[in-house]
Amino acid sequence: PRPGDLIEIDRKFYQHWALYLGDGYVINVTPVDEGAPSLSVSTTSIFTRRAKVKKQLLTEVVGNDGWRVNNKYDRSRTPLPVEEIIRRAERWIDKEVTYDVLSSNCEHFVTMLRYRQPASEQVSDTV
């Protein structure tokens, strides 16, 4: 991946999303509970409605799951310049955010960083 790319991670019942920062690191939304593994991000956060933005190694976030670069919204939206995407992302590290599976999930978060507007196709497809 290249800095600013969206990373789609295959989980058992959903897709988790992260944004590639470079040097093997991503930024993603994780449960507020420090003891909760990043692999259960969305299921844990659904119940807590709070999450923390973390900078982690891609390999740590992915675990044994499949992943791919997926900048699918580039077809309909113009990404911000890479330097701005990274600058915007780094401002969020270690901050607590509201999590809502329908309106403020991990995909909404990373698309907001890349395009300035949040989007989540997996929510719109499900709803």
83-103 residues labelled b (16+ CB within 10 A) or e (exposed): eebbebbeebeeeeeebebee
* Alpha-carbon torsion (41, 94, 24, 122), positive or negative: positive
Mean pLDDT over all residues of the chain? 88
Residue-by-residue DSSP string for 82-93: HHHHHHHHHHHT
Q: Which of 9, 16, 54, 61 is catalytic?
A: 16
Of the two residues 107 and 121, the one the predictor is more confident about is 107
**Low-confidence winner among 39-43, 57-61, 81-85 (lowest mean pLDDT):** 39-43
Enter the pTM of the model. Answer: 0.86
Q: Is 67 a known active-site residue?
A: no
d(Cα 115, Cα 61) in Å, to the nearest integer?
22
Contacts of 51 (CB under 8 A, 6+ apart): 29, 30, 31, 32, 41, 45, 96, 97, 98, 99
Mean pLDDT of 9-29: 96
∠ Cα 122 123 126 (to 5°): 85
- Binning pLDDT at 50, 70 and 90, where does residue 40 land? very low
108 is catalytic: no
Q: Is residue 24's pLDDT more than 60?
A: yes
Q: Which residue did the predictor score with more confidence, 41 or 115?
A: 115
Per-residue model confidence as pLDDT tens digits over 62-111: 999 999 999 999 999 999 999 999 999 999 999 999 988 888 899 999 99
Domains and CATH numbers, the chain: 5-33+46-115 (3.90.1720.10)
What pLDDT shows up at residue 35? 46
Question: 49 pLDDT band (50/70/90 cuts)?
Answer: confident
> Which has more pLDDT, 95 or 123?
95
State the pLDDT at residue 59: 98
Which is the catalytic residue, given 19, 26, 53, 106? 106
